[in-house]
Chains A and B, each alone.
Chain A
Amino acid sequence: MHARPAARIARLAAQASSGIRIIKDGETVDATSIIDILSLGCTKGDSIDIKIDNPADMDILNRICRLIENGFTE
């Protein structure tokens, strides 16, 4: 994943009221950090889990999922 999509996820995650984490192969990182996201080394076809700490952030989770599903197009 490149810096731009990572930046867009991080920007969305930053709006959440509590923590959002991305998990890949047992490694958990902070979704508000671009560097954290990049360091997961995600490539096309990899599967990741996204966890929200507070159910109130469901909407943000959905928006992140949509962003990924749409291939980061507007």
Chain B
Amino acid sequence: MTKATESTETTLNGINASPGICIGKAYLVDPESVSVVKKYTIEPKLVKKEIRRFKTAVTSARKELKAIIAKIPEELRDQTYILEAHLLLHKDKMLYEKSIRLIDEERINAEWALKTSIGSVKERFDRIPDPYLKSRAADIEHVSERIMRQLTGATDVDLTVIDKRVILVAHNLSPAETSQIQVNRVMGFVTDRGGKASHTSIIARTLEIPAVLGLGNATTMIQNDDLIIVDGSEGIVIVNPDEKTLIRYEELNRRYESYKADILRISEAPAVSTDGRHFKIMGNIELPEEVVGVRDHGGDGIGLFRTEFLYLSRNNFPEETELFNQYREIVELMAPGPVTIRTLDINGDKEISSLPALQEANPALGLRAIRFCLKKPKIFKTQIRAILRAAAFGNVRLLLPMISGCEEIQQSKRIIEQAAASLEKDGLPHKADIEIGAMIEIPSAAIMADELAKIVDFLSIGTNDLVQYALAIDRGNRFVAYLYNPLHPAVIRMIAQTVDGAKKNGKKIFMCGEMAADPINIPFLMALGIDELSMSPQSIPEVKNLIRKIDSREAEKLLPGILSATSASEIQNLIIERYGDILKESLSD
């Protein structure tokens, strides 16, 4: 070495959100955030000019926001109030007049004045005991960031400009940002926020790139262009690794890749347990391109097609033809395997048309998914018509999200019948008698599973939300993410009750959600006899491989112990005690 490096190796611990290892240069997504604002003094004769610069920035920021409001589609008009409140905040005394006074009296630059006024506002909000109100400081932050961008001339985060292979390091990645990511440029994700089941984590697993989330301080500990190692299996990020560490991780990476190649080679073969039971292993997808990934990884069909993508980042709702063309493409690519199309689920962490996430006090418990669709039957019917038309070209099932009780299914079925009748009248080719299923992701639906099973063709357990709602945990919140455990005895009992409710009525039972992809859960899910497990495509080979080594009848013997356990760790120990050796051979141990 010619020169001693100033930086020493540092290890950061976070949440293992997507497995794999990558080694590369860090790319900080928002280096121009408020934290790098410079302070300087203004000459007395230039103070007026500086104040004018600040006023211009506020005017431009408001103009920008007004343009955003104007582009909001008619259907979402009633949701613009929060942006209108933001408009007023731009001119709020505490922010506007105080900043101007600071420039004038202290002769400091506009950026620093804004930062100072925001700082004192934040301090006041920090003193509010109510955590929800406390978080309203975010509104003020959004406003100040918009003004700051105008002052510094910085633009919105644009990930499409990255021109080399990098590891993205960000405070948090929004769905809008992750959707811009070019797979060939991004080797891995590292974020301060987010948890194992957050949108970023799902995207990372879909793209098969390693991710460590919820680090808390990654953006302050990591500099642009730092050499970092991301171990997404262990949830570790190593900044400025020394030579020994580098060699060790390159070896680990090589072994991981060769294991992946091994199980991929045999992934085409069906997943049949040692006692001869055939489990269908399906893929979760969001885009037509991902169907290829499901087929390449040996998937037997699509267990969950999330349909939100065509509704995001646009000002209007998509036309029936556009939806139909996309669905038909997926259905034809997957045929004869089934494609389970989940109807529109706009939810808390996925907003339409870049509206801020603050429209409702509690979006996760708000107007989303089936509730939204039943409120907007026109939007719903357009989608149903597209689905029924695509069904004429292959094997389609329809899945209703966020069902909380029987009425929502009955109401949805009426709309489906109306859609079929209108297609008949229009003389368009379609298939009306497709299988209809209910997503079990709200505890009330799990409890009522036996009744729901009577009026649908199948039930599909969506574990990501079920765990979140059952345990009252925001899965994106790193402070409570550690509590997110699908093996919690309450979740386990709910799942068992749901399976029971379906089987009692002779209906099929599926699971789609991250739980189905985690090897440790597989023996239990096999013991329950869940017909289909659906997961991110790249998890399919590993799960298939595992199923082939397990005797499902024997796994059933574990059920009484698991169902009477009182803690997640007790359940975990029961599984590891019996299947530890088999699980150890797999990746995520």
Contact = CB atoms under 8 A, between A and B. Distances in A.
Given A3-B86, A4-B82, A36 B94 contact: yes
A49 B411 CA distance: 47
Contacts of A1: 133
Contact of B93 (A6, A30, A39, A43): A30
B533 interface: no
B129 A41 contact: yes
Q: Which of A3, A10, A34, A36 has the most CB of B within 10 A?
A: A3
Interface stretch (B120-128, B475-483, B554-562): B120-128
A35 B98 CA distance: 12
A35 B85 contact: no
A54 B82 CA distance: 31
B89 A2 contact: no
Contacts of A36: 93-94
B255 interface: no
B473 interface: no
B74 interface: no
The size bracket of the interface on A is 10 to 19
- Secondary structure type dominating chain B contacts: helix
B94 A35 contact: yes
Contacts of A2: 85, 136, 361
A3 B80 CA distance: 12
Interface string A36-58: 10110111000000000000000
A28 interface: no
A34 B124 contact: no
A22 interface: no
B69 interface: no
A60 interface: no
B86 A33 contact: no
B85 A4 contact: yes
A51 B516 CA distance: 60
Contacts of A11: 88
A33 B125 contact: no
A39 B88 contact: no
A1 B358 CA distance: 13
B130 interface: yes
B89 A34 contact: yes
Contact of A32 (B85, B93, B128): B93
Interface residues of B, number: 24
Contacts of B361: 2
A67 interface: no
Greatest chain A CB density within 10 A among B85, B129, B130, B140 is at B85
Nearest to B86: A3
Nearest to A11: B88
B81 interface: yes
Contacts of A23: none
A72 to B, nearest CB: 10
A1 to B, nearest CB: 7
Interface string A9-37: 01100000000000000000010111110
Interface in B126-155: 128-130, 133-134, 136, 139-140
A35 B95 contact: yes
Given A11-B88, A41-B128, A41-B129, A3 B136 contact: yes
B84 interface: yes
B82 A33 contact: no
B242 interface: no
A35 B88 CA distance: 10
Interface string B91-130: 0111100000000000000000000000001001100111
A15 B121 CA distance: 24
Contacts of B94: 33, 35-36
Contacts of A38: 125, 133, 136, 139
Contacts of A41: 128-130, 133-134
Contact of A3 (B121, B130, B139): B139
B81 A35 contact: no
Contact of B92 (A33, A42, A43): A33
A2 B125 CA distance: 13
A38 B92 CA distance: 12
Contacts of B139: 3, 38
B569 to A, nearest CB: 37
Nearest to A30: B93
Most chain B C-beta atoms within 10 Å of own C-beta, residue among A10, A35, A38, A39:
A35
20 contacts: A2-B85, A2-B361, A3-B82, A3-B86, A4-B82, A6-B85, A11-B88, A34-B85, A34-B88, A35-B94, A35-B121, A36-B93, A36-B94, A38-B125, A38-B136, A41-B128, A41-B129, A41-B133, A41-B134, A43-B130
Interface of A: 1-4, 6-7, 10-11, 30, 32-36, 38-39, 41-43
Given A7-B88, A36-B93, A41-B128, 5 more contacts: A11-B88, A35-B92, A35-B121, A39-B128, A43-B133
